[in-house]
Structure 1
Amino acid sequence: MHMIAPNTGLSRRSFLKMGAAAGGGLLIELSLPGARALAADAGPFAPNAFIRIGRDGTVTLVMHKVEMGQGTYTAIPQLIAEELEVPLDAVTLEHAPPDPKYAEPLIGAQITGGSTSIRGAWKPMREAGATARVLLVQAAAKKWNTDAAKLVARDGAVIDATGGRRAPYGELVDIAATLPLPTGVALKDPKDFRLVGRPVRRIDAAGKVNGSARFGIDTVLPGMKVATVAASPVFGGTLAGVDDAAALKVKGVRQVVKLDNAVAVVADHMWAAKQGLAACAPRWKDGAHAKLDTAQIFAQLEKSSESPGAVAHKAGDADAAMKAGARRVDAVYRQPMLAHATMEPINCTVDLKADGLDIWVGTQVPGIAQAVAAQTAGLKPEQVRIHNHLLGGGFGRRLEVDFIAQAVAIGRQVRGPVKVVWTREEDIQHDMYRPPYLDRISAAVDAKGMPVAWTHRIAGSSIMARFFPPAFKDGVDPDAVDGAVELPYAIPAMRVEYLRVEPPAVPTAFWRGVGPTRNGFVVEGFIDELAAAAGQDPVAYRRALVKDGRARAVLDLVAEKSGWGTPLKAADGVRAGRGVALMQVFGSHIAQVAEVEVNADNEVRVRRVTCVIDCGFAVNPLTVAAQMEGGIMFGLTAALWNEITLADGRVQQSNFHDVRMMRMNEAPRIDVHIVPSGEAPGGVGEPGTSVAIPAVVNAVFAATGQRIRTLPIAGQLAAKNT
């Protein structure tokens, strides 16, 4: 079977290259448009995804994405299999190694995130499969000395219906590898798709059910030790001392490893490591942030937001239009820090040997992980071997490599392999958090209550300035304003500003999206406020403003499917209401209606969510529906209960008793409707979360008359009740 010889050009156009290598077989090299890698020393790259077809007919896809529950390991092979004319179960997967050539073209780095996987793979992967198919047909024509137009590819073979001949792909790969690259290869018309667009069960599901699937935390190596960690409870604090002797008295404890801001206890198993960590009773120097609390962070945001920010978007003269309006509406929205709380706890296994470093981990950024591990270990990147796994949830947490650097630092002091596992408490209290934000938003409306001017000032952390500095330009973080600058509504005069305000010492990160999940709450909450002020129905008000046909279609359909405008039944003492939200984010148009009830104790229960999405061509409708359901649950949980707070420099929450998850008996009925579309695919990983938050907030207003401008909802209703 041919191995892959990656292309390293910087072309902005997608192209395919076929060739041969020692050993026989067919290789297909797919070069995607890209940019420079995030790591400063990575240099230029051409991100690549590859297909190999062996003499035995095996089709191998070197997967440039990781599977964290979003379905990429099924949907991307569907694209290849469709154009290549092979059954889906004929495609096998390999994790791509860390290499800039495997970068996501829509991002420019080797990353799984941003709802980009299918969007970035849609055309190039199909082109790769189609080009391979054409070459194999031409190879059969050459072998049989016939016209290629008389041949067809089907089910992993080329067929000559007139001559009764059939050649499996494996018999043709050597000839195909010698043929010139065909140009202008036509892709299938979607009406001829047999696999793409069909509901296909996820190929990774069985392993997760029967236990054969392997995540990073499942790593077991000969002679492996297990370590658990305690870091300074105050951001920026350092380790003052530990009782090594007490820890080493615990049966199974082998070693105590001290870092500048943390201590790790290495043992034969996790229980001994935990007991040893408790026994060592670490002492800390809290440092400069020992008195930091949540109130200080929001006071800083409040004060900063009083000043103008960098202009992220401008249309018309918003100030003049604001003065000319019949009435003005102002609001301030606040959103807390949030933890990721992924199902699989943070973990990383390292084994430092004479010839380099091996790392077993689940990461969304294998290239960055390799670079950081190499730097920490004092090695060259090529000396670090990343063994990537399925992820037990990512949500942006595994875009970060802090825990990998820490594990390598520990592994440098341990002989043999060591698996570093964080407890849930360590995970919650030392997360990379979704930032707290404060938004000032205003509108001037005409005599009918319709907006003629709109200003939106956003104050909060810039994740892009840290994660990808080139993207932070002219004082604007493009992610922080995503969902605020491109609205589905026609507003004549508009200005959006951004102020970078970093919470002192608190690490911030992406959280199943940041900009859209935040700005959806603010924008759609405020649109609802304007509708209420105008005395108009929220759906009708939005419909009058919508400027895009696709957005209007999802809004109309969600109103129909949710029974918008029909009476809601509720028990005595229970108030019920519906709320709507509409967004165009990640290349998709999505609308939701949440139906809630609020009891006498101001407890909110979401009874039903109706979701309509136009995500372009739905490669796998089952995946789309599942992502909507999971995203909605994720968003509802955050909107109803979740926040991370600080007191005396310490995170107050520690586990699922105070980082509340929605329970199975609390889960609402979720109805997902996918709008048929011939447009290129949009993203589906994060839109469901983005729209669920404002939909439920608006439903609570409909039920109670109380406008929620600060999350989470539960705390706000309780405060108003008292």
Structure 2
Amino acid sequence: MRHHEKRATLTPIGTARRRFMQQAGAIAGGGLLLGFTFVARGAQTGAPLASATPFVPNAFIRIAADDTVTLIMPSVEMGQGAYTSMSMLLAEELDIDLSHVTTEHAPADQRHYGNPIYIEQLTGGSTTTMGWFMPLRQAGASARYMLVAAAARRSNVDPAALRTHDGMVTHDATGRSARYGTLVDEAATVKPPAAPTLKDEASFRYIGKPVRRIDTPDKVNGKTEYGIDVMLPGMTFATLKSSPVFGGKVAHVNDSKALKVPGVRQVVVLDDLVAVVGEHMWAAKQGLEALTIHWTDGPHANLSQDDLWAALESGAKAPGVPAKKTGDALAHLNGDSVYEATYELPFLAHAAMEPMNCTVDVRADACDVWVGTQAMGKARDAAAAASGLKAEQVTIHNHMIGGGFGRRLEMDGISKAVRIGKHVSGPVKVVYTREEDIQQENYRPMYHMHARAKVQNGKILALHHRITGPALLARWLPEFFIKNVDLDAVEGAVDLPYGVPNLLVEYVRQETPIPTSFWRGVGPNANVFAIESLVDKIAHATNTDPLALRRRMLQDDPRALGVMELAAQKAGWTHPLPPAPAGARVGRGIAVLSAFGSYLACVAEVSVSDEGNVSVTRTVTATDVGLIVNPDTLEAQVQGGTIFGITAVLYGQVTVEQGRVQQSNFHDYRVLRLDEVPKIETWFIHNREKPGGIGEPGTVVVQPAIVNAVYAATGVQLTRMPINPKLLKKRETT
């Protein structure tokens, strides 16, 4: 640990993953994928021209004749700053100016662009920096070595006498220089080094420095093309309606009125959905509203939210599969000083600002797909399956994503678009309405967590934590569904930062008829909420300061202790809160996270009205993600994650009645509004540890911090999100 740094205050206008790393370690560190292309540059004084034959020593880079470097991005940009941070890694080791780097989406190519952690071509789980930090640096350093070797051969000098800077190799003794683009012929004959020498931290020009996002200018001026922006010659537009009951089917469609709507071209009726194709989106939408559709609801027509909660709670009574066992927790969970609680999380929608969309052109012998997806390989395979073509006959054209949060890891939108496109001549853009997007989701799962703890000598002596929920990895990445344990579902529970000598973590797989998927924060959302809430329950019951209780149990984890102490210090934990507004109560809460290869602590301050309405007034988050690539990205991700997490605590829930999702748009699936955003402070700890993830931890850690702050303000601990104001309404005293 070196020092801490304040990055920003945002004021409103008005590990299971470590186990992933261990399992993938041999693959992540066992070889170097290379892929550069160097193209000849214009004539330069005293330097021979390179041929036009591209130099292709590896898989990530092209260097053009004008010395522009193109990075073939192994990760997808969906607002998290991946394009900038990955370009920084490359520019750092290749010794080029960052302004010379341009980016391209990688094609669907598992062999070259598979995430080293997941062994799958995907972007998710806060793994972009963790997975690509070393491979991209090694790729840049290897290319630089080859270019230097080429210059040394040409000039007949020792490579050690040469240096690189800004895309140029220079021999200081003679003053001679050569641009990278002029060295491609010689570089093509150089054998890549087995272990290229990387820069040390003292030599970093970019890594660790705040860098403006390279994708921002084009987003501001409208040049950036998201999936929904795709326009092709002769393209039509379609929108769709799926069975409102999951698993239901189309019974009968009367399309006579729809076909009379100006601009409507055709109606496509499939077994589980109906789509209207028009000359433009408005025609398609108006045509869809003019349809009369009769559905066969299927087996889930009477499914209610109460049924879903009851099934989850019943499943939680079954014996769990041990995910981690240390000591003998059950033997100690008796007598006095045993505390227990049950915590639950509801379904959540992703509600990305860019609605689901996919443009397809399905032909007899080929299929082109224009989409923003987090998983290129799976997108290609899904399109192939839906079209009946071979994978090699499918081309995926990936795009910037206007919000993913896990939703665009799923392939249902691509499959439906291709199925519709098979009935349409020429390219068709399929766009979901916001209602279809929210009501036909793959939702964040419902989770049930039951925890029991034995306290002795001011610490937790034994802890039994049982997690009940679906196994997302069993479907998505079966390699990480090990011995009937979903590694994602137990993350944040099996890797506790607290020193608990007797620990038993169990997992109960409980599937649901409602489709589920990964949601920003994934498994740790549930487990950090449960554990951090239980710690505060113990603190309140034993009249102990919540910070002091955590401090006792973090002595063996200095990184976790460090972020907690920093957050508490900067939040003024020992200082009184500002006076409560009239008719309100105020509270301050804290939570600690160890997940995604990172450590975070958050202090939240809240105001609770006498009617039970909660306002988050301030958050202070301390982060330790190891070696920081771009502090600006780190700051933005903590801020965005905080807002995402506050939304979940205050408003987030999807409910089901008669087999139908009740929420439909932002009026009843609320997100945090500008005038509700609190003061957000972020603080960083700098060190030389391996980089961890940051896309999701901010979302996770703020939620229990808020719940604990509400507990401090009202004496009521919330055990099921979102906050229910009725439980917090101030009671009259007599």
Aligned-pair CA distance for 1:19: 9.1
Match for residue 439 of structure 2 among 429, 432, 442: 429
Superposed CA deviations along residues 181-212 of structure 1, whole A, max 9, x for unmatched, are: 23442211111101111111111111111111
- The equivalent of 1:14 in structure 2 is 31
Report the Cα offset of residue 346 of structure 1. Answer: 0.4
Q: For 1:28, give the aligned amino acid.
A: P
Deviations 1:411-441 (A, max 9, x none): 0001111100000000110100011111111
What's 1:537 paired with? 545
Q: Is the alpha carbon distance of 1:490 and 1:256 closer, same or farther for their aligned partners in structure 2, counting shifts above 3 Å?
A: same
- What's the counterpart of residue 507 of structure 2? 498
* Amino acid in structure 2 at the alignment position of 1:621: P
What residue is the counterpart of 1:170 in the other structure? 181
Q: 1:694 aligned to 2:704? A: yes
1:238 maps onto 2:249 in alignment: yes
Answering whether residue 160 of structure 2 is matched by residue 149 of structure 1, we say yes
Would you say 1:160 and 2:171 are equivalent positions?
yes
Q: Provide the residue aligned with 2:7 in structure 1.
A: none
What pairs up with 1:117-516 in 2 under 5 angstroms? 117-323=128-334, 326-446=336-456, 448-503=457-512, 505-516=513-524
Query: Aligned residue for 1:606?
Result: 616
| Partner of residue 4, structure 2 | none
Q: Confirm or deny that 1:587 pairs with 2:597.
A: yes
Q: Shift in Å at residue 12 of structure 1?
A: 5.7
> What is the CA–CA distance in structure 1 between the aligned matches of 2:308 and 2:347, rounded to whole Å?
10
1:589-645: CA deviations, max 9, x gaps? Answer: 100001111112211111111010000111000000100000010011001111000
Q: Per-residue deviation at 1:143?
A: 1.3
Distance of 1:115 and 1:20 partners within structure 2:
29
> Is residue 643 from structure 1 mapped to residue 672 from structure 2 by the alignment?
no
Residues 622-701 of structure 1: pairs in structure 2 closer than 5 A: 622-701=632-711
Spell out, residue by residue over 1:248-303, the C-alpha distance to the aligned partner (whole angstroms, 9 max, x if none): 01111110001111100001111111111111121111111011011111111111
CA distance in structure 2 between the aligned counterparts of 1:291 and 1:591, rounded to whole angstroms:
43
- The alpha carbon displacement at 1:20 in A equals 8.6
The 1:228–1:617 alpha-carbon spacing in structure 2 relative to 1, beyond 3 Å, is same
Question: How far apart, in 1, do the equivalents of 2:195 and 2:281 lie?
Answer: 57
Separation in structure 1 between the aligned mates of residue 193 and residue 720 of structure 2, nearest angstrom? 58
Secondary structure in structure 1 of the residue aligned to 2:402: coil
Q: Where does residue 84 of structure 2 map in the other structure?
A: 74
3-state DSSP of counterpart to 2:680? strand
5+ unaligned residues in a row in structure 1: which ranges? 1-8, 30-48
Q: Which residue of 2 aligns with 1:43?
A: none
Is 10-19 or 588-597 further displaced after alignment? 10-19
Q: What SS does structure 2 have at the residue aligned with 1:149?
A: helix
Range with bigger deviation, 464-473 or 657-666: 464-473
Letter in 1 for 2:57: I
57-66 vs 487-496, which moves further:
57-66
2:19 corresponds to: none
Return the alpha-carbon distance in structure 2 between the equivalents of residues 11 and 295 of structure 1.
Answer: 45
The CA distance in 2 between the partners of 1:20 and 1:60, in whole Å, is 9
Query: How far apart are residue 26 of structure 1 and its match?
Result: 3.0
Q: Is the 8 A contact 1:449 1:533 kept in 2?
A: no
Contact kept? 2:305, 2:657, Cα under 8 Å: yes
Match of residue 40 from structure 1: none
Indicate the SS of the match to 1:675.
Answer: strand
Task: State how far apart, in whole Å, the 1-side matches of 2:135 and 2:178 are.
Answer: 26
3-state DSSP of counterpart to 1:282: strand
Change (3 A) 1:152 1:597: same
Give the SS at the match of 1:181. Answer: coil
In structure 2, distance between residues paired with 1:543 and 1:244: 66
Identity %: 51
Q: Higher relative CO (CA 8 A, sep ≥ 6), structure 1 or 2? A: 2
Deviation at 1:683, TM superposition (A): 0.2
Letter in 2 for 1:532: H
Q: Aligned partners of 2:545, 2:155: CA distance in 1, in Å?
A: 69
Among 58, 63, 84, which residue is 1:53 paired with?
63
Residue 661 of structure 1 and its aligned partner are, at CA, apart by 0.6
Deviations 1:498-531 (A, max 9, x none): 111112x210000013211111111111111111
Letter in 2 for 1:552: L
Q: Alpha carbon RMSD of aligned pairs, Å?
A: 1.7
Aligned 8 A contact 2:382 2:415 in 1: yes
Q: Amino acid of the residue matched to residue 241 of structure 2?
A: A
Q: Larger deviation: 146-155 or 70-79?
A: 146-155
Residues 571-596 of structure 1: CA deviation (Å, up to 9, x unaligned): 22221111100011100010000111
**Partner-residue secondary structure (3-state), 1:28:** coil
CA contact (8 A) 1:197 1:621 kept: yes
Aligned partner of residue 255 in structure 1, secondary structure = strand
Q: Give runs of ≥4 in structure 1 deviating > 3 Å.
A: 9-12, 16-23, 714-722
Distance 1:392 1:20 in 2: 30
Query: Per-residue deviation at 1:162?
Result: 1.5
Q: Secondary structure at the match of 2:169?
A: strand
Q: Distance in 2 between matches of 1:11 and 1:207?
A: 33
Q: Could you tell me how far apart the structure 2 residues matched to 1:18 and 1:601 are?
A: 61
Which residue in the other structure is 2:53 paired with? 24
CA–CA distance in structure 2, aligned partners of residues 625 and 382 of structure 1: 41
TM-score by length of 1: 0.94
Q: 1:268 to 1:18 in 2, by over 3 A?
A: closer
Q: Deviations over 1:374-428 (max 9, x none)?
A: 1111111111111100000000000000010000000000111110000000011
Post-superposition shift, 1:138?
1.6
Secondary structure, in 3 states, of the residue corresponding to 1:52?
strand
TM-score (norm 2): 0.92
- Structure 1 residue 539 displacement after superposition: 0.9
> Aligned with 1:245: secondary structure?
coil
Is the 8 Å Cα contact of residues 28 and 117 (structure 2) preserved in structure 1? no
Letter in 1 for 2:255: D
- The change in CA–CA distance for 1:184 and 1:405 in structure 2 (over 3 A counts) is closer
Q: Give the drift of 1:449.
A: 4.1
What's the CA shift for 1:535?
1.0
Identify the residue that residue 113 of structure 1 maps to in structure 2: 124
Aligned to 1:548: 557
Task: Name the stretch that deviates more: 11-20 or 427-436.
Answer: 11-20
Shift of 1:716: 5.7
Please report how far the alpha carbon of residue 24 of structure 1 lies from its aligned counterpart in structure 2 after TM superposition: 2.7
Structure 1 residue 18: Cα displacement? 7.8
Contact 1:28/1:51 (<8 A) preserved: no
Gaps of 5+ in 2: 1-25, 39-50
State the secondary structure of the residue aligned to 1:27: coil
Aligned amino acid, residue 486 of structure 1: D
Q: Assess if the C-alpha contact under 8 Å between 1:339 and 1:432 holds in 2.
A: yes
What's the offset of the Cα at 1:11? 8.8
Residue type of the alignment partner of 1:454: L
The structure 2 residue matched to 1:561, chosen from 544, 566, 570, is 570
Task: Find the aligned partners of 1:692 and 1:575 in 2 and give their Cα distance.
Answer: 20
Whether the 8 Å CA contact 2:27–2:116 is kept in 1: the answer is no
Q: 1:619 is matched with which residue: 614, 629, 652?
A: 629
